[in-house]
Amino acid sequence: MTQNKKTFSLKGMHCASCVTVIEGALNKVDGVSMATVNIATEKATVTYDPEKVTDQMLCSAVSGAGYKALISEELKSEDEEQKEKLKELHDLRFRVTISLVLGLLILWGGFPGLMNTAPSILQNFWVQLVLATPVQFWAGFGFYRATISALRHRTANMDTLVAIGTSVAYFYSAVVTIFPAIVESIGVEPMPYFDVSTIIIALILLGRYFEAKAKAGTSEAIKKLLGLQAKTARVIRGDKEVDIPMNEVVIGDIIRVRPGEKIPVDGVIVQGESSIDESMITGESMPTDKAPGDTVVGATMNKTGTFTFRATKIGGETMLAQIIKMVQEAQGSKAPIQRLADLVSSYFVPVVLMLAIFTFVIWYVFGPDPSLLYALLNMVAVLIIACPCAMGLATPTAIMVGTGKGAEHGILIKDAASLETAHKINTIIFDKTGTLTKGEPEVTDVIPFGSIGENELLKLAGSIEKGSEHSLAEAIVKDTEKKKLALLEVSQFKAIPGYGVEGMIDGKRIVFGNKRLMDKEAIQIDMAASKIEEMESAGKTVMMIGSEKKLIGIIAVADIIKDSAKDGLEALKKLGVEVVMITGDNKRTANAIGNRLGIARVLAEVLPDQKEAEVRKIQAEGKVVAMVGDGINDAPALAAADVGIAMGSGTDVAIEAADITLVNKDLRSVAAAVTLSKKTMRTIRLNLFWAFGYNIILIPVAMGALYPFFQILLNPIFASVAMATSSVSVVANSLLLKRKKII
Amino acid sequence: MTLDNIIVIIAGIVGIVFVYWFFLLKKEKIIEVSDIKGKDGFSHIDITVEGGYTPEAIAIPLGEKTVLDFTRTDPSSCLEEVVLGDFNVRRELPLHKKVSIEITPKTKGTFIYSCGMNMYHGKIIVE
């Protein structure tokens, strides 16, 4: 009998007794073999026979007990939210259309120069009042509502400015229409400005409509990532293969994936081979060949073969979920460059209100006749032109697009501050093993001295290295396995970081490691000096094995340089970044690899715990340093660097310490991350320059600063055009980042 | 100078002083997180999002997970998102739906959070 497992949220729980009640109700359902309820998470987990039990039955059992089961609620609510948003956008478009049509009619009948061509009915002030009223109080209702609720908190925002500005124009015009004699008696021609109030509302709503549409584009990356998730998994349960929803997959499930199918969760291949396209996660375009024992990542695409794999990570633990979490966190973080905009925006609206009052007073007292009209119109222009939204949107929209674009290329940025610092990087330190090289070294030479044979030497080295976690040790052990050499028993094993290892084999003390270890042990290596020099000059790492204070052999291991290393380093040099290589290898080996890669500055013989100090030394030279590494021992250096970059399949510790994680192993991504940072910062600067410059220049113009010199005043209608386009242009500029090439 | 000019100048000065006092000299009421834990074992604070954040300033303890339960009742598009930049959180706030945001402050200080457009602000004081 197939058993399914389902977890769902519950509503209406108060105490521990609810647990018993709900569990009892669910267990009574025919076909349910087990039901457990967790009060802390307010969730129920039910194991049941899918042929007997439906979602509906579980729902009614829970509701029968007086609670509510939210089995498919989460999906539904997201859909509903989407629908609600669309409805809001539709509603906004309707308001824009109506207010634009009515506003344009009023403008036709009321604007000097145009009004002569308009039918006489549109020139009638009472008709204009009737047309303007729904725009003011129906289309512009949102401005009033937001103003009132903000005033209750003694705060003000852009809506406050629009509400006050348009109300001044509307009510002045209403007075002119209803009591023309009063206005005339104070020496002002009774001329209404309904065109100003309506067109301003129409244009600002239009700007808001475009802004809402554009803003949706800034968070597209998350939606795309969420869309990668597979919907079902083909799980082998007993001798049957069943398609089950993703949330029912449990760790340890054996899942079959056929050609052209998405891999549902993370896991390890158990049987079969295939080529897998991981570009959606890593940004690497070449498919990767996978065989039993290899890991597979959920949401990637199986290309050719059929295979089965064991699920190792599900739900929030999968790589895709982690990536989504990281991108979401980065998009919510604050860039240091935003601080000034934060400070300004907290005072902005009250200051604009004060400037508007000041403008009114100055124009009323010192302005030409009719001074009341000049004072009113200029005050309205000041209130309308001020745009705090552009400042608020300048940085976050660019950060959202930038981090999203990074994720598409396998570049995960921890937060906005890291992205901001990355554009200043002028030195990048690469850890050699696993970063510049593949980190899969192979034994190239085995040279015994004295009576010992080649295989015997390798056997000794393999035996003592078996307990070590070093990548070079792994190469030696692998070679012994390949040659089918039986390893020996080792006692008193000890790893000496930065030197090598030691232990007892057959009662003899064996030491195995670098020259420093031989020096420490006072073992003479003169007889092998020329051989060692020759191999190290070829970029090989030479390890020596000693016994009873004598050198008994040397073993050389070489790591393969990554294909992308040359291009990646070249791209960095083009960006003006100095490249440094750091390694525990001796100087000769390190320099040989450095030469091959065109790296001038090589820091060799650096012990793992000295890497951090080396980073600080370079920082002390006044450099902004990024460190690229992948191992546990790189974590302190990654944390010490201005920007820590964890590479590819790096350890969790390295990723935790890093500011940027590169999901792929392609070294060109390092330059791409720097380029992305530079381009994002350029966009932010341009946005801020525009947002600040706009307000700094146009507010004085609206106040009438140009009038004494050039008789130029800003019509409030043009002020609303400028204001509506300013925030849209900032969002549009951020969206342009999507089209920029970074790799 | 005519009488109406003098009246406008005086009214203008009063208006400017009033705006300054009303918006920039307001005192916030700080609400401290209560010791009563929710079903999940963490302290919760309800924050209503309407024309700003109520309570505007909250005090929470250092190093302890606290859940901020936001409920937006204001349809203004400005308030659609809440951004707790210092805690790397940006979340959409659907209308009339409780959105819980968990934070565990690691440093003492005052942290400002805002709406997506940085127009409305709230304060988190970590003590």
Question: Hey, what are A28's tokens?
Answer: 């009574």
Residue carrying the six token digits 């999968």: A318
Length of chain B: 127
Alpha-carbon distance of B59 to B31, in angstroms, equals 6
| Superfamily name with CATH number, domain B30-126 | Cupredoxins -  blue copper proteins (2.60.40.420)
CB A168 within 8 A of CB B71: no
Listing from the earlier edge strand, what are the strands of the sheet with A32-38? A32-38, A43-48, A4-11, A68-70
Are B116 and A152 an interchain contact pair (Cβ–Cβ within 8 Å)? no
ipTM reported for the complex, 2 dp: 0.84
Mutate to test the interface with B, among A89, A149, A188 (most CBs of B within 10 A): A149
Q: Which of B23, B77, B90 sits opposite A332 (nearest CB)?
A: B90
Contacts of B22 in chain A (CB under 8 A): 154, 350
Q: Which of A208, A328, A396 sits opposite B77 (nearest CB)?
A: A208
Minimal-distance CA residue of chain A relative to B87: A333
Q: What is the mean pLDDT of residues A566-574?
A: 94
Alpha-carbon distance of A302 to A289, in angstroms, equals 10
A9 reaches B (C-beta below 8 A): no
Q: Closest Cα of chain A to B1: distance in Å?
A: 8
Q: Closest Cα of chain B to A164: distance in Å?
A: 13
Mutate to test the interface with A, among B72, B117, B120 (most CBs of A within 10 A): B117
| pLDDT given at position A649 | 60
Contacts of B16 in chain A (CB under 8 A): 354, 357-358
Q: What are phi and psi of A161, to 5 degrees?
A: -60, -45
Q: Closest Cα of chain B to A357: distance in Å?
A: 6
CB A518 within 8 A of CB A550: no
> Bridge partners of A578?
A427
Minimal-distance CA residue of chain A relative to B118: A392
Question: Hey, what are A648's tokens?
Answer: 């590819």
| pLDDT given at position A189 | 84
In this predicted structure, the answer to whether residue A93 has a pLDDT above a threshold of 80 is yes
B1 reaches A (C-beta below 8 A): yes
CB A426 within 8 A of CB A580: no
| pLDDT given at position A39 | 57
Question: Hey, what are A624's tokens?
Answer: 């902004």
* Positions of A marked active-site: 431
B41 reaches A (C-beta below 8 A): yes
| pLDDT given at position B24 | 92
Are B117 and A393 an interchain contact pair (Cβ–Cβ within 8 Å)? yes
Reported as a single tens digit per residue, the pLDDT across A189-207 is: 888 999 989 999 999 999 8
Minimal-distance CA residue of chain B relative to A148: B51
Residue A16 pLDDT grade (very low, low, confident, very high; cuts 50, 70, 90): low
Are A392 and B117 an interchain contact pair (Cβ–Cβ within 8 Å)? yes
| pLDDT given at position A76 | 46
A158-178 vs A371-385: helix axis angle to the nearest 10?
150
Longest dimension (CA), chain B: 70
Question: Hey, what are A683's tokens?
Answer: 């966009």
Reported as a single tens digit per residue, the pLDDT across A661-674 is: 998 888 999 999 99
Reported as a single tens digit per residue, the pLDDT across A281-335 is: 887 777 888 999 999 999 999 988 899 999 998 888 888 888 888 888 888 888 8
In 3D, which of B81, B89, B122 has the Cα closest to residue B105? B89
Alpha-carbon distance of A432 to A585, in angstroms, equals 9
Q: What is the mean pLDDT of residues A59-66?
A: 79
Q: Which of B19, B54, B89 sits opposite A332 (nearest CB)?
A: B89
By CB neighbour count within 10 A (0-12 exposed, 13-18 middle, 19+ buried), where does B108 fall? Answer: exposed
In 3D, which of A401, A390, A382 has the Cα closest to residue A705? A382
CB A428 within 8 A of CB A578: yes
| pLDDT given at position A77 | 53
B52 reaches A (C-beta below 8 A): yes
| pLDDT given at position A265 | 92
Q: Which of B26, B88, B114 sits opposite A333 (nearest CB)?
A: B88
Average pLDDT, chain A: 88
Alpha-carbon distance of A667 to A685, in angstroms, equals 28
Residue carrying the six token digits 């005192």: B27
> Bridge partners of B67?
B44, B102
In this predicted structure, the answer to whether residue A579 has a pLDDT above a threshold of 80 is yes
A125-134 vs A194-218: helix axis angle to the nearest 10?
20
Q: Give percent above pLDDT 90 in chain A.
A: 47
DSSP E strand stretches across A192-287:
232-237, 240-245, 254-257, 266-271, 274-277
- For residue A589, the SS3 value is helix
In this predicted structure, the answer to whether residue A2 has a pLDDT above a threshold of 80 is no
Q: Across the A/B interface, how many CB contacts are shorter than 8 Å?
A: 130
Contacts of A153 in chain B (CB under 8 A): 51-52, 54, 56
Alpha-carbon distance of A680 to A582, in angstroms, equals 29
B83 reaches A (C-beta below 8 A): yes
A156 reaches B (C-beta below 8 A): yes
In 3D, which of A546, A541, A533, A536 has the Cα closest to residue A501? A546
Alpha-carbon distance of A517 to A496, in angstroms, equals 9
B121 reaches A (C-beta below 8 A): yes
In 3D, which of A588, A584, A589, A637 has the Cα closest to residue A614? A637
Residue A153 pLDDT grade (very low, low, confident, very high; cuts 50, 70, 90): confident
- Give the end-to-end CA distance of chain B in Å, rounded to a whole number: 56
Per-domain residue ranges for chain B?
A: 30-126
Buried b (16+ CB within 10 A) or exposed e, A706-725: ebeeeeebbbbbbbbbbbbb
B51 reaches A (C-beta below 8 A): yes
SS (H, E, C) A512-557: EECHHHHHHCCCCCHHHHHHHHHHHHCCCEEEEEEECCEEEEEEEE
Are A212 and B77 an interchain contact pair (Cβ–Cβ within 8 Å)? yes
Residue A701 pLDDT grade (very low, low, confident, very high; cuts 50, 70, 90): very high
Alpha-carbon distance of A619 to B34, in angstroms, equals 45
Are B40 and A357 an interchain contact pair (Cβ–Cβ within 8 Å)? no
B109 reaches A (C-beta below 8 A): no
Alpha-carbon distance of A698 to A722, in angstroms, equals 9
A212 reaches B (C-beta below 8 A): yes
Residue carrying the six token digits 């070829």: A538
Q: Closest Cα of chain A to B113: distance in Å?
A: 10
In this predicted structure, the answer to whether residue A75 has a pLDDT above a threshold of 50 is no
| pLDDT given at position A74 | 47
